[in-house]
Amino acid sequence: MNKRKILFIGWDAADWKVINPLLDNGMMPALESIINNGVMGNIATLDPPLSPMLWTSISTGKHADQHGILGFTEPAPEGKGVRPVMITSRKIKAIWNILTQCGYKTNVVGWWPSHPAEPINGISISNFYQRATSEYGKEWKMAPGTVHPKNYEEIFKELRVHPGELTEAHLLPFVPNAAKIDQEKDKRLGAMAKIIAECSSIHAAGTWILENTEWDFTGIYYDAIDHFSHAFMNFNPPRLPYIPEEMYEIYKGVVQGGYIYHDMMLARLLELIDDDTTVILTSDHGFHSDHLRPKGIPDEPAGPAWEHRSYGIFCIKGPGIKKDERIYGANLLDIVPTILTLMNLPIGRDMSGKPLLQAFEEIPEVQYVDSWEEIEGECGMHPKDLQRDPIAEQAAMQQLIELGYIQKPDENVAKNIESTVTESKFYLARVYMNKDNFTEALPILEELYSKYPEKVRFAFNYAKCLDSIGKPDEAFLVVQKIIENEKKEYPQLFLLQGTLEYARRNYEQALKYLSKAEKADSNLPQLYQQIGFVYLNMRRPKDAEAAFNKALENDPENVHAHYGLALVMFRLKDYEQSAEYSLNAVGLLYHFPKAHLSLGMALAKLGMYDRAIEAFELCLRMMPGLIAAHKYLSYIYLLKMKDKEKADYHIEAIKKLRERNKAA
């Protein structure tokens, strides 16, 4: 059996924009040791960026439409109301189930969601474990199903940290000026104690497992950075105009303190492993910490997710992993394929990600199996009829309410259930849109829009979906209806109107709407990239270049701005720069078929035909119906490579695609 061990650490919402200054000042030495002895880079998130969905995608290698976790809550059994989302709603195997099936000793601590704890070949501790459900000094019961195996319950029960146990010594490193806080009016200190205590409980359980058991894989999930960020990021430097200076001075160091605390915990984890252990550290998304911080949070379920950024952090170090190098194009779905490759196990062909081979010193042989779901054997998943504990579920529900992720339930149980089902459908539609599967998303959004025409987010996404399937006129009517219902216009609507006029090829009108959006909010995501594409289609490449560069000034990791500049440079016949910007785009977002197409176009113009073929073929694997890629390949094979057989294959593919499109 493979001797390799894997320690998999999750830091919810960790972001390089906050981390890099701390690294530069020597304040996160444990993380720096991983970076210097391994590989690091961005990792692209998925949409919607909701933690239970994302961490389940991370642990399964599949999108939410496949794994079944669709938000923070779900209807309780037998119509009894609404409960926090449970692990029993996950329809497929997670990595610890696959490894259990293969005979490995596997542990998982605090994953979201993971209650009730799964009966894997090792220790499983659910995400109910760390939540304090009673006042300090009173009996703190542990919900049934929190720990597997059950005989470990008493050990882990004693390792928990209650917020009431924390003293000034624990809180002052985060808030040195805590004495200035009027705790009758300002409850943030109590919220901070809760975050620290819960994080410390998870860490205590994880370190005990590493120190006292034999294991092959251990996954530990820390949610505290996300909670620190939602509660205190508005106080993070630089000070925002609407933050009072006195409050800023009190709380400005909390987020950085949270990161430093995580580094201290990471240092302890690294002390408890040996040189044969591969360490993987990831976040599920980032968190806006600069001028891109949203000015307000929408009054809607999961509104705090607006603060999430599209790129999180990824690090890996261990035997056979490169040292002190960057990795490009990683996304959340790549982690399980990478772990399976590290363990010499096959990847499921039904997994959406790829192994991150660029991290390896020597490229390993990658094995495949149709699906791990088809392989029989005990994998440590729950039987479907498992009963739950309603008291524990209610405690977890209250925690989500306090964080602002969900609204306080209405007394009307049926209404609560309907609301939960509605949100799950909406998130499912967004998953399909994120996968460019607009035909699956459309009927869901159409149903939601018909039933709730007053809900702007349903109408907004319905319009975007209509536009994406080539129906901009219908989308425009939906937008007009939004304006009628709302009796007002706002930046996001101006942007959508400009996008739709662009799709209708009314370029001058598109610029008028986009100019309105710019005046209302120049930091609006996607604004300048959309202006750039309008100019590009108006054959004004210099104006397009200026707009795309503005987009990059606003956000250097705007993948569509890099792609837009690749098209601009191709139009200006600067093929080297075009290739460079295309590489930037796929480095940020690997699954971006049109950027692979633009890369192939530039490489073909540079006479680099072998590499161009690779780019075009990769593009077609991601987007099989893209005629332009077939055109370029038929041209290269026929005229440059003198391979008529392959050229004929692509010519025939073009013919079939055109016939299919005509029939449609």
3-class SS string, 605-654: HCCCHHHHHHHHHHHHHHCCCCHHHHHHHHHHHHHHCCCHHHHHHHHHHH
Pairing, β 5-11 against β 277-282:
parallel
Give residue-wise pLDDT tens across range 305-348: 999 999 999 999 999 999 999 999 999 999 999 999 999 999 99
pLDDT confidence of residue 396: 65
User: What integer best gives the mean pLDDT of the chain?
Assistant: 93
Write down all domains in the chain, each with its CATH number in brackets.
Answer: 5-391 (3.40.720.10), 586-664 (1.25.40.10)
> Mean pLDDT across the stretch 636-643?
93
> Mean pLDDT across the stretch 344-363?
96
Token output for 547 = 């707009």
642 exposure class (CB count in 10 Å sphere: 0-12, 13-18, 19+): exposed
Q: Where are the beta strands (DSSP E) in 352-496?
A: 368-369
Place of tokens 């998943």: 381
571 compared with 524, residue with greater pLDDT: 571
Helix/strand/coil for 49: coil
pLDDT confidence of residue 409: 61
Query: What Cα–Cα distance (Å) separates residue 114 from each residue in 89, 156, 387?
Result: 10, 16, 14
> What is the CA angle 343-344-346, rounded to 5?
110
pLDDT confidence of residue 408: 66
The answer to whether 13 and 308 are in contact (CB under 8 A) is: yes
Helix/strand/coil for 9: strand
pLDDT confidence of residue 616: 97
The winner for highest mean pLDDT among 130-134, 176-180, 269-273 is 269-273
pLDDT confidence of residue 391: 41
Q: What is the DSSP letter of 165?
A: G
Give residue-wise pLDDT tens across range 438-485: 999 999 999 999 999 999 999 999 999 999 999 999 999 999 998 888
The answer to whether 76 and 82 are in contact (CB under 8 A) is: yes
pLDDT above 60 for 75: yes
Query: What Cα–Cα distance (Å) separates residue 407 from each residue in 13, 69, 266, 420, 427?
Result: 22, 19, 34, 11, 16
Task: Output phi, psi for 222, to 5 deg.
Answer: -110, 125
Alpha-carbon Rg of the chain, whole angstroms? Answer: 26
Q: Which residues contact 416 (CB under 8 A, 6 or more apart)?
A: 81, 82, 409, 410
DSSP 465-489: HHHHTT-HHHHHHHHHHHHHHHTS-
369 exposure class (CB count in 10 Å sphere: 0-12, 13-18, 19+): middle
| Residue 525's pLDDT band (cuts 50, 70, 90) | confident
Give residue-wise pLDDT tens across range 238-266: 999 889 999 999 999 999 999 999 999 99
* Residue 293 region by backbone torsions, left for phi larger than 0, else alpha for psi between -120 and 50, else beta: beta
> Mean pLDDT across the stretch 655-661?
90
> Mean pLDDT across the stretch 388-393?
46
Q: Cα separation of 89 and 108, whole Å?
A: 18
Q: Cα separation of 24 and 1, whole Å?
A: 41
> Mean pLDDT across the stretch 148-171?
96
Pairing, β 325-326 against β 347-348:
unpaired
The answer to whether 297 and 305 are in contact (CB under 8 A) is: no
Count of alpha carbons within 13 Å of 405, Cβ hemisphere only?
21
Helix/strand/coil for 275: coil
pLDDT confidence of residue 663: 78
* Residue 198 region by backbone torsions, left for phi larger than 0, else alpha for psi between -120 and 50, else beta: alpha
pLDDT confidence of residue 664: 65
Q: What is the DSSP letter of 321?
A: B
pLDDT above 60 for 51: yes
* Residue 361 region by backbone torsions, left for phi larger than 0, else alpha for psi between -120 and 50, else beta: alpha
pLDDT above 60 for 387: no
Q: Cα separation of 222 and 336, whole Å?
A: 19
> Mean pLDDT across the stretch 120-129?
98
18 exposure class (CB count in 10 Å sphere: 0-12, 13-18, 19+): buried
Q: Cα separation of 16 and 72, whole Å?
A: 26
Q: Which residues contact 351 (CB under 8 A, 6 or more apart)?
A: 60, 61, 62, 333, 336, 337
Task: Output phi, psi for 308, to 5 deg.
Answer: -75, 145
Q: Which residues contact 621 (CB under 8 A, 6 or more apart)?
A: none
Length of the chain: 664
Q: To which H or E segment does residue 126 belong?
A: none
* Nearest by Cα to 224 from 275, 271, 264: 264
pLDDT confidence of residue 487: 77
Measured torsion, CA atoms of residues 60, 63, 68, 71, in degrees rounded to the nearest 10: 110
pLDDT above 80 for 169: yes
> Mean pLDDT across the stretch 426-433?
96
Q: Cα separation of 559 and 592, whole Å?
A: 9
Q: Could you tell me what percent of the chain has a pLDDT over 70? A: 95
Q: Cα separation of 495 and 294, whole Å?
A: 16
Token output for 235 = 């106080």
pLDDT confidence of residue 416: 86
> Mean pLDDT across the stretch 157-180?
94
Token output for 602 = 């530039």
1 exposure class (CB count in 10 Å sphere: 0-12, 13-18, 19+): exposed
pLDDT above 90 for 100: yes
The answer to whether 483 and 493 are in contact (CB under 8 A) is: yes
What predicted TM-score, i.e. pTM, was given to this entire model?
A: 0.92
